[in-house]
Amino acid sequence: MSDTHIYRVQPDWKREASIDNETYLSWYERSISDPDGFWGEHGKRLDWFKPYTKVKNASFEGDVSIKWFEDGELNVSYNCIDRHLEKRGNQVAIIWEGDDPSSHRKITYRELHEQVSRYANVLKAQGAKKGDRITIYMPMIVETAYAMLACTRIGAVHSVVFGGFSPDALAGRIVDCQSEIIITADEGLRGGRKVPLKVNTDKAIDIAARQSMSVRKVLVVRHTGGAVDWVPGRDLWLNDEAKAASPDCPAEPMNAEDPLFILYTSGSTGKPKGVLHTTGGYLVHVSLSHQHIFDYHDGDIYWCTADVGWVTGHSYILYGPLANGATTLMFEGVPNYPDNSRFWQVVDKHKVNIFYTAPTAIRALMGAGDEWVKKSKRTSLRILGSVGEPINPEAWEWYYNVVGEGRCPVIDTWWQTENGGILIAPMPGATDLKPGSATRPFFGVVPKLIDNDGNVIEGEGSGNLCIAQPWPGMMRTVHGDHARFIETYFSQYPGNYFTGDGCRRDADGYYWITGRVDDVLNVSGHRMGTAEIESALVAHEKVSEAAVVGYPHDVKGQGIYCYVTLNEGETGDDALRKELVAHVRKEIGPIAAPDKIQFAPALPKTRSAKIMRRILRKIAEDDFSSLGDTSTLADPSVVDDLIANRQNRH
Ligand code: 6R9
């Protein structure tokens, strides 16, 4: 191998039935050369009410129509619960670990079946039908899993909105998918602090009402017991309704291509897009990848620290693990509460075998010092996963050596909301590891690197990462806007899905993701469009124009750097900086809070009035050596002023 840092597969990383390198290579080859044969076989891992006779009917050309298993019928909640009852009724399906270290719960498959059925009957009683969209705005509690699975049980389409989003952001998502029912909780808890979910929901419903969207029902889970306002007739306590409902609710047979969920995600332009996933192909992809990429075996305790408000929570806290009959841990809290050893305390408490987290958490804990890790034993750990952003080799090595004590492979998984499941990642018993590389493609995935001029890069080299062939778990459309789907993902490199990421392929065929090449930021693993933050800023009465770029940040990966031009007569001072930060938090949510605001009398623009972001990025990065050609700027002197007043001076 070409690179110096290689960690070879250790003999004890291969267990019985683990995929080894030969198996990986032969399965991969078949998945590409004979997708119908490969997926037709692996689709059988699910229980189908009506078996499929067709496998792949998908093309990236023209109108981009993606169908898998199109004449099959199944139900997601049936596959995640009912089919396990006979063998695993008394096995724990979900371990819930509360924000407060003294609180935890264990829910067996049988209990999960009962609760999900009750929730499903409540939804039906409130008029929810197959195909209706239901918004879920919840903390990390087991009731959130009940709610999501209950939607799938009756064929309703859930749209989970991360609990950290503001009322405005929540309202936008409710309106976009015309969701008449919202499931929420009184309050969430994170790091000892309360999150006012019901208050935010009430505000969001008012905002939605101004856009002629009327929410009929709000189902509220009593969690903290905090006081909430109540609209009689509209608001119902979900706990009470569920208790009174029947525990018997047959799972609705769904076509493989019926919508399963919508999840909003940020792109380089406009409002967040409603990424639409369907039923059959998605569940095949997430269950197959969960099994082989994490080398999941019966009896393993599996913990993914993501929030269910993100795709990682959908696919790898709930659907993949539960489809495989796993015990999955849901954690309400944060890595540094009550102190920096929390993750490792939870690992020891519940004997976690497979642990999956984000580089931003790894970097923060690495910065806090090894002593927090060493307070725990971590002897149960076997696999360490990473997701959400590129993992820098230093953080990778720390994760491997300090957390895993050199015993556990680090499984760096690259994928996106749009992908449904993991697309590039090693397999513990098959893939030699290189710190910082997501390594090799998953079954059925054909990565393709294309340069800015459209030339395909073969062998070693760098380019824009595209995927050349459809895979079962991929999104089918943007909810309500198929033209936007085609425009966003298939217009740059026709016939290929464009990921928005840059990537290098090394001499061994390993992939190294270099980060976004578009105007999307990745802040602490949270994806955000610069355009969204810009439009929040210009919505402030004192702001005339704004341009937002990312800059390297030690813990967050990227920080948010805002260049703001004020209206005539306004003065940019620290008070206004604070006001603008608060304003963005209110418009989008705390995750979008700017790290730096630079007041700029003018922004660098071309003569055709296009902002030159390349220059703004360089200034934010403190790198003026390669500003490139500024001669096309309408007023090149703008750049000197921006450099003189930059916010990153050390
Ligand atoms: C699953 C998820 C997707 C974007 C993606 C890329 C970045 C995710 C990564 C990674 C390097 C990894 N990303 N995993 N970059 N290595 N292992 O995070 O989905 O929120 O849609 O973000 O995140 O830039 O394009 P999502």
Gap between the terminal Cα atoms of the chain = 40
Ligand 1 centre from 522 Cα, in Å? 8
Extract the annotated binding site for ATP.
388-390, 412-417, 501, 516, 527
Ligand 1 centre from 380 Cα, in Å? 28
Peptide bond into 338 cis (omega under 30): yes
Does ligand 1 have an atom closer than 6 angstroms to the CB of 513? yes
Query: ∠ at Cα 357 (329, 101), nearest 5°?
Result: 50
**Could you say which DSSP state residue 155 is in?**
T
**In a 10 Å sphere around its CB, with 0-12 CB exposed, 13-18 middle and 19+ buried, how is residue 644 labelled?**
exposed
- Predicted TM-score (pTM) of the model is 0.95
Rounded Cα gap, residues 214 and 70, in angstroms: 34
Tokens standing for residue 235:
């608001």
- Residue 1 reports pLDDT greater than 50: no
Query: ∠ at Cα 401 (398, 404), nearest 5°?
Result: 105
Does ligand 1 have an atom closer than 6 angstroms to the CB of 356? no
- The residue whose CA is least distant from atom 18 of ligand 1 is 388
Ligand 1 centre from 526 Cα, in Å? 9
Tokens standing for residue 380:
């149960």
- Residue 110 reports pLDDT greater than 60: yes
Beta bridge partners of 295: none
Q: How far is CA 216 from CA 126, 231, 232, in A?
A: 9, 11, 11
**Could you say which DSSP state residue 434 is in?**
-
* pLDDT tens digits along 21-53: 999 999 999 999 999 999 999 999 999 999 999
Q: Which of 312, 386, 501, 504 to mutate to test the pocket of ligand 1 (most atoms within 8 A of CB)?
A: 501
- Residue 4 reports pLDDT greater than 70: no
Rounded Cα gap, residues 358 and 391, in angstroms: 8
Backbone angles phi, psi at 313, to 5 degrees: -65, -40
Rounded Cα gap, residues 46 and 57, in angstroms: 19
* pLDDT tens digits along 310-347: 999 999 999 999 999 999 999 999 999 999 999 999 99
Predicted local confidence at residue 452, as pLDDT: 94
Half-sphere CA count of 465, side-chain side, radius 13 A: 25
Q: Which of 410, 416, 431 to mutate to test the pocket of ligand 1 (most atoms within 8 A of CB)?
A: 416
Predicted local confidence at residue 131, as pLDDT: 98
Residue 230 near residue 222 (C-beta atoms within 8 A): no
* pLDDT tens digits along 436-457: 999 999 999 999 999 999 999 9
Decide the pairing of beta strands 327-331 and 354-357. unpaired
**Could you say which DSSP state residue 177 is in?**
H
Residue 74 near residue 43 (C-beta atoms within 8 A): no
* pLDDT tens digits along 457-489: 999 999 999 999 999 999 999 999 999 999 999
Q: How far is CA 107 from CA 81, 114, 375, in A?
A: 12, 11, 28
Ligand 1 centre from 415 Cα, in Å? 5
Ligand 1 atom index nearest CA of 413: 17
